[in-house]
């Protein structure tokens, strides 16, 4: 069961780990994704050690050259990641030793894998945030363009998925722009808070070496070094914040995906996805399935699960580092990959979907969607209390239902039989176009508002 003792901590060990021990312990299979951050952090640490006179300039030079060589090997695919060396930190260090000899052993002065991994992981999450922010901005641009095109397109607005009041499709799309703007804000906030450098916290207590932590923080574009060594090596709230912001973003995407699924049914018929984003059925030739929307909806489950996973990993851990925390990476990697894919799919679908304005308008007029407009007219023109107007409108809706027609198709005399004060003027508010045009309150659905909101959103970015 045993093989040779580790070259890294072998001093105290006679035998190597059992196969099961190795299997549960090894993380190189996934944490190799931290290679660029690991090497960047090592280079900063090495430069600092030399500046502080903790290692010689000659050793530092050879370490820097060796790290550059390791980076090149990894990026060209020539590097062999080995389970024997457990994780990315020891894989890099072992290869460095092979390349430059004993000087490599000086790199780990005043450092532990605990502050090393916290630093690498923060750098990785920071990069992931920056990439997601670019993608969110791109999707926002797509939504803004489509909202502009459809500032006047009337569709039914729903509550309880029952026809409620007419809205404009542009206004509906702008609702998602608002959500994405807040999503971007959450990631940006998380980025601000995470941007403190753990390097130099060492295993948990700091170190007796005369480090310059300001220098390493600056080298790695952190705002400052972390203030407490125990906290720095043992919290993963930066990863949790990333996942929380990600889970909310995924939920927003899932809701829009659900709407695309509904809108593309023959029953709604509001939207047609391009061939590039539709799939056929192997048995039913008429089918155009919105698989990308369905999968985007499904994938919210993963991201929510990733957040839950890490919350549970962290919840019982005493300070400072525990190996449990090695399990922080896979949920974060999965969430980042999933969000990248979902944002691309959603932006792709929305960018080239075809909108059926006629179907939307017909549906907007069905279900007595302008009943509230009638009630508002009674309040504004007959000075009726709203509660009474609601009641009168209810009776008129019932009449229209009995006659099997829309409100705007009722005869004036029929309406007057319910409320004598109603005049011809009421028909001006009963069409869906007039209904949306009248919703000019700030944040309301009127086409003029949508155009202004698009403009404002473009200027804000």
Residues at the interface with ligand ARG (CB under 6 A): 27, 31, 87, 113-114, 117, 321, 323, 325-326
CB closer to ligand ARG, 35 vs 377: 35
Give the C-alpha separation, 188 to 194, whole Å. 10
CB closer to ligand ARG, 239 vs 343: 239
Give the C-alpha separation, 207 to 45, whole Å. 14
C-beta of residue 336 within 8 angstroms of C-beta of residue 128 = yes
Give the C-alpha separation, 133 to 139, whole Å. 10
198: closest CA among 181, 175, 219, 217?
217
**At closest approach, how far in Å is the CB of 205 from ligand ARG?**
13
Dihedral pair phi/psi, residue 225, rounded to 5°: -75, 155
Helical (H) or strand (E) element with 154: strand 154-159
Strands 224-225 and 196-197: parallel
CB closer to ligand ARG, 121 vs 222: 121
**At closest approach, how far in Å is the CB of 184 from ligand ARG?**
29
HSE value, Cβ hemisphere, 13 Å, CA-based, for 120: 26
Give the C-alpha separation, 342 to 422, whole Å. 52
Give the C-alpha separation, 122 to 66, whole Å. 24
Dihedral pair phi/psi, residue 2, rounded to 5°: -105, 150
Give the C-alpha separation, 134 to 348, whole Å. 15
Which residue among 18, 221, 281, 322 is the active-site one? 281
CB closer to ligand ARG, 23 vs 323: 323
Helical (H) or strand (E) element with 114: helix 113-149
**At closest approach, how far in Å is the CB of 5 from ligand ARG?**
16
232: closest CA among 327, 319, 309, 107?
319
CB closer to ligand ARG, 277 vs 321: 321
**At closest approach, how far in Å is the CB of 91 from ligand ARG?**
10
Give the C-alpha separation, 87 to 326, whole Å. 10
Dihedral pair phi/psi, residue 167, rounded to 5°: -135, 170
CB closer to ligand ARG, 91 vs 445: 91
**At closest approach, how far in Å is the CB of 161 from ligand ARG?**
46
Which ranges of 13-56 would DSSP assign to H, the alpha helix? 19-25, 28-31, 35-51
**At closest approach, how far in Å is the CB of 87 from ligand ARG?**
4
Dihedral pair phi/psi, residue 425, rounded to 5°: -55, -25
C-beta of residue 86 within 8 angstroms of C-beta of residue 25 = yes
Distances (CA, A) of 284 to 260, 294, 320: 21, 18, 58
CB closer to ligand ARG, 264 vs 326: 326
Helix (H, G, I), strand (E, B) or coil at 425: helix
Residue 182's contacts (CB-CB under 8 Å, 6 or more residues apart) are none
**At closest approach, how far in Å is the CB of 336 from ligand ARG?**
17
**At closest approach, how far in Å is the CB of 72 from ligand ARG?**
23
76 is catalytic: no
CB closer to ligand ARG, 117 vs 310: 117
CB closer to ligand ARG, 200 vs 447: 200
27 is catalytic: no
Which residue among 160, 208, 282, 441 is the active-site one? 160
**At closest approach, how far in Å is the CB of 207 from ligand ARG?**
15
Dihedral pair phi/psi, residue 77, rounded to 5°: 80, 10
Just list the catalytic residues.
160, 281
């Amino acid at each position: 069961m045993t093989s040779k003792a580790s070259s890294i901590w072998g001093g105290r060990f006679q035998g190597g780990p059992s196969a099961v021990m190795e299997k549960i312990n090894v993380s190189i299979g996934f944490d190799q994704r931290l290679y660029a951050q690991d090497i960047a952090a090592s280079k900063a640490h090495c430069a600092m050690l030399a500046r502080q006179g903790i290692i010689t300039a000659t050793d530092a030079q050879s370490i820097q050259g060796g790290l550059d060589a390791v980076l090149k090997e990894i990026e060209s695919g020539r590097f062999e990641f080995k389970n024997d060396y457990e994780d990315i930190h020891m894989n890099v260090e072992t290869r460095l030793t092979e390349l430059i000899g004993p000087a490599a052993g000086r790199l780990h002065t005043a450092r532990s894998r605990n502050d090393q991994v916290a630093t690498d992981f923060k750098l990785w999450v920071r990069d992931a945030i920056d990439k997601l922010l670019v993608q969110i901005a791109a999707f926002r641009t797509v939504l803004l363009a489509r909202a502009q095109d459809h500032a006047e397109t009337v569709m039914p607005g729903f509550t309880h998925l029952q026809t409620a009041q007419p809205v404009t499709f542009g206004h509906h799309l702008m609702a998602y722009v608002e959500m994405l703007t807040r999503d971007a804000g959450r990631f940006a906030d998380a980025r601000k808070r995470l941007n403190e450098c753990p390097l130099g916290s060492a295993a948990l207590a700091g170190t007796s070496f005369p480090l310059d932590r300001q220098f390493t923080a600056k080298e790695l574009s952190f705002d400052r070094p972390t203030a407490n060594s125990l906290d720095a090596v043992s919290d993963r709230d930066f990863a949790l914040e990333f996942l929380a912001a990600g889970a909310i973003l995924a939920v927003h995407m899932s809701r829009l995906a659900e709407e695309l699924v509904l809108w593309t049914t023959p029953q709604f018929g509001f939207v047609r996805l391009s061939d590039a984003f539709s799939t056929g059925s192997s048995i039913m030739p008429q089918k155009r399935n919105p698989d990308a929307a369905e999968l985007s909806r499904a994938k919210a489950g993963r991201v929510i699960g990733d957040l839950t996973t890490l919350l549970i990993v962290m919840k019982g851990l005493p300070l400072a580092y525990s190996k449990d925390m090695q399990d922080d990476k896979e949920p974060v990697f999965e969430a980042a990959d999933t969000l990248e894919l979902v944002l691309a799919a959603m932006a792709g679908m929305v960018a080239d979907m075809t909108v059926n304005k006629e179907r939307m308008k017909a549906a907007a007029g069905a279900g007595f969607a302008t009943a509230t407009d009638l009630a508002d007219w009674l309040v504004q023109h007959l000075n009726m209390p709203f509660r009474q107007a609601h009641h009168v409108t209810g009776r008129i809706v019932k009449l229209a239902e009995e006659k099997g027609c829309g409100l705007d198709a009722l005869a004036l005399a029929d309406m007057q039989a319910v409320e004598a004060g109603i005049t011809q003027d009421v028909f001006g508010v009963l069409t869906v176009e007039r209904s949306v045009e009248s919703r000019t309150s700030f944040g309301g659905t009127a086409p003029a508002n949508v155009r202004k909101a698009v403009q404002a959103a473009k200027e804000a970015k």
